[in-house]
Amino acid sequence: MSDHVLVINAGSSSLKYSLVDAKTGEAAATGLVEQIGEEQSHHVHHGPAGEFNDDQAVADHEAALEAAVRAFETHGPALADVDIVAVGHRVVHGGDRFAAPALVDDELIAAVTDLVPLAPLHNPANLEGIEVARRLLPDLPHVAVFDTAFHQTLPPHAYTYAVPTSWQEEYGIRRYGFHGTSHSFVSGQAAALLGRELEDVNLIVLHLGNGCSATAVQGGRSVDTSMGLTPLEGLVMGTRSGDLDPAIHGLLARVAGRSAEETDRALNSESGLKGLTGVNDFREVSRRRAAGDERAELAFDVYCYRLKKYIGAYYAVLGRVDAIVFTAGVGQHSAEVRAAALSGLEGLGVRLDPTRNTNNDQIVSTEDSPVAVLVIPTNEEWEIARQALDVVRG
Ligand code: AMP
C-alpha cells in the first residue's frame, strides 16, 4: 500500500510542493513556484531524473499547481503511478477551532475563512492553495494541517494576554503560537534520540529559521510558546522584531504620523536582523560580524540575548529540562548562536561540548551534562504528510 502524500504549502506569491512517503519521510519529488503573478516566475522541480527549471510567467496559484502537475508528468514521478493517498495542506492559522489536522470540506473552508483577520497574509494564500488543489485533484482527500494546532494545549495562564477580557471574546485576541508542525516533529525526534518516551521528557525547542520561535514542551505537549496572536511576537527573527513595547504603535502615530498598517509592515518586514543590519540572512550577518562590523555584532548580541531570556523563562516554566533542542537554518548550522545563547547556563545544568558544537553533531552537550543539547533537522513536510495520513487512515 502506498503511503505517499502530496504536501502543498501555498504562500502569497509562491507554491511549494513535496511528494512525501509519510512512513519514511523520503521525498520522491519536491518543487517550488515563485513570483506567481509577476512578469517572470520561477519554477524548480526536483525529481528522480534531477532538477528542472522553468522561468515562464505563472499567472496565479491555479496555473502554478497546473505547472507542478505537468512537471510530475514530464519529469516524474507520474502522479498516477505513485498512487497518492492524500493531499496535505499547510494552513498557518487554525485559531482555537483546530487542535488537530482535519479533512477539508466546505465547513472547514468557511472556518479558515473566518480566521483571515487573524492571519491576513497567510490564510488567504493557504485557502487559495486548497481550493485550486481540490479543483485539480478532486478524487483525493485533502487534509489541512495547522501551524497553531500543536499549541492548543497551552494552559489559559500562558495564552491569555492581560487585556480587557472582551477582546478575546470579541476579536480572538490571545496567544496561539506557530511553527507547530516543526515543534511537534522535532520533539518526537528528540525523545527518540534520548531513547525516552515523549510523554516522559521536558524539552525547550528552539526553531531558528527566517522565522524564530521557542516552545516549552512538557511530555509532548506545548505548554508555552514565544509567538503569539501572530508570528510577530517573541524571538528576534530575519525581518520581524519579536517582543517589544506595544506603546511603539501609538508613539509612531503621534510623532511620525505613521498608520497602524505602516508600523505593522515595518515590524514584520523591516525589523529583526534586517532592521539592525540591513540584511535578514543570518549567514551574511555572521560574515559581517567576523569582519568586525559593529552593527552586525550588536544584532548578534540582541538575537542571542533574547534567546537566552526565553531559555531561562521556559526553564522556570518546566521546572526540569531534559534537553534544549535547536532546529531550522540558524539552529542547525550556527555553532556561534548555540554557544552564545547557552553561555553562562552551566548553573542550570547546561554543558556544551565545544568540539561537538563546532561539528554540528546531533548531541552537542558533554557526556555528563545534566541537560542534553541537541541539533535536530526539522522536516515540516514529513510531519504534514504523517498527520494527513493519520487523518485519512483514521
Ligand atoms: P530556514 O527558514 O530554516 O530556511 O532558515 C533560514 C535562515 O537560516 C537564514 O537566516 C539563513 O541565513 C540561516 N542559515 C542557513 N544556513 C546557515 C549556516 N550554515 N549558518 C548560519 N545560518 C544559516
Q: What is the pLDDT of residue 103?
A: 98
DSSP of 155-221: -HHHH--SS-HHHHHHH--S-----HHHHHHHHHHHHHHHTS-GGG-EEEEEEESSSEEEEEEETTE
Judge if 124 and 238 occupy the same domain. Answer: no
Question: Residue 19 sits in which domain range?
Answer: 4-146
Q: What is the pLDDT of residues 312-352, one digit of tens each?
A: 999 999 999 999 999 999 999 999 999 999 999 999 999 99
In a domain, 345, yes or no: yes
**Confidence class for position 382, pLDDT limits 50, 70, 90:** very high
Give CA–CA dist 33/53, Å, rounded.
10
With a pLDDT cut of 90, the percent of the chain lying above it is: 97
What is the share, in percent, of the chain residues with pLDDT greater than 70?
A: 100
- Residue 310: the pLDDT is 98
Domain shared by 237 and 130, yes or no:
no
**Mean pLDDT of the 195-209 span:** 98
C-alpha angle 29-33-34 in degrees, rounded to nearest 5: 145
The 3-state secondary structure of 222-244 reads EEEECCCCCCCCCCCCCCCCCCC
- Please indicate, yes or no, whether residues 246 and 370 belong to a single structural domain of this protein: yes
Whether 267 and 333 share a structural domain: yes
Using most ligand atoms within 8 A of CB, pick from 333, 337, 376 the residue to mutate for ligand 1: 333
Catalytic residue among 147, 224, 301, 322: 147
Whole-angstrom Cα distance, residue 274 to residue 292?
A: 18
Q: What is the DSSP string of 268-303?
A: HHS-HHHHHHS---HHHHHHHHHTT-HHHHHHHHHH
Q: Please indicate whether residue 336, judged by its CB atom, sits closer than 6 Å to ligand 1.
A: no
pLDDT in tens, 20-63: 999 999 999 999 999 999 999 999 999 999 999 999 999 999 99
Q: Is the CB of 333 under 6 A from ligand 1?
A: yes
Ligand 1 centre to CA of 282 (Å) is 6
Q: What is the DSSP letter of 370?
A: S
Q: Is the CB of 330 under 6 A from ligand 1?
A: yes
pTM here?
A: 0.96
Does residue 178 sit within a domain?
A: no
Structure confidence at residue 90 as a pLDDT band (50, 70, 90): very high
The domain tally of the chain equals 2
Regarding whether 222 and 120 lie in a shared domain, the answer is: no
Flag whether pLDDT at 197 surpasses 90. yes
Same domain, 235 and 123: no
- For ligand 1, atom 15, the nearest C-alpha belongs to 329
- CATH number for the domain spanning 265: value is 3.30.420.40
326 lines ligand 1 (CB under 6 A): no
Same domain assignment for residues 95 and 219: no
Boundary residue ending a domain (122, 146, 170)? 146
C-beta of 375 in contact with ligand 1 (< 6 A): no
- How many angstroms is it from 311 CA to the middle of ligand 1? 20
Write out 124-165 in H/E/C secondary structure. Answer: HHHHHHHHHHHHHCCCCCEEEEECCHHHHHCCHHHHCCCCCH
| Catalytic residue check, 147 | yes
CB-based contact 150:207 (threshold 8 Å):
no
| Average pLDDT score, the chain | 97
Asked whether residue 201 falls in the same domain as residue 115, the answer is no
Q: Is 209 a pocket residue for ligand 1 (Cβ < 6 Å)?
A: yes
Place of cell 506557530: 178
> At 69, which helix (H) or strand (E)?
helix 61-75
328 Cα to the center of ligand 1, angstroms: 7
Residues 275 and 134 in one domain: no
- Give the model's pLDDT for residue 120: 87
* Ligand 1 geometric centre to CA of 209 (Å): 6
Spacing, Cα 150 to ligand 1 middle (Å): 24
Does residue 183 form part of some domain?
Answer: no
Beta-sheet pairing, 42-47 with 27-34:
antiparallel
Task: Indicate the length of the chain as a whole number.
Answer: 394
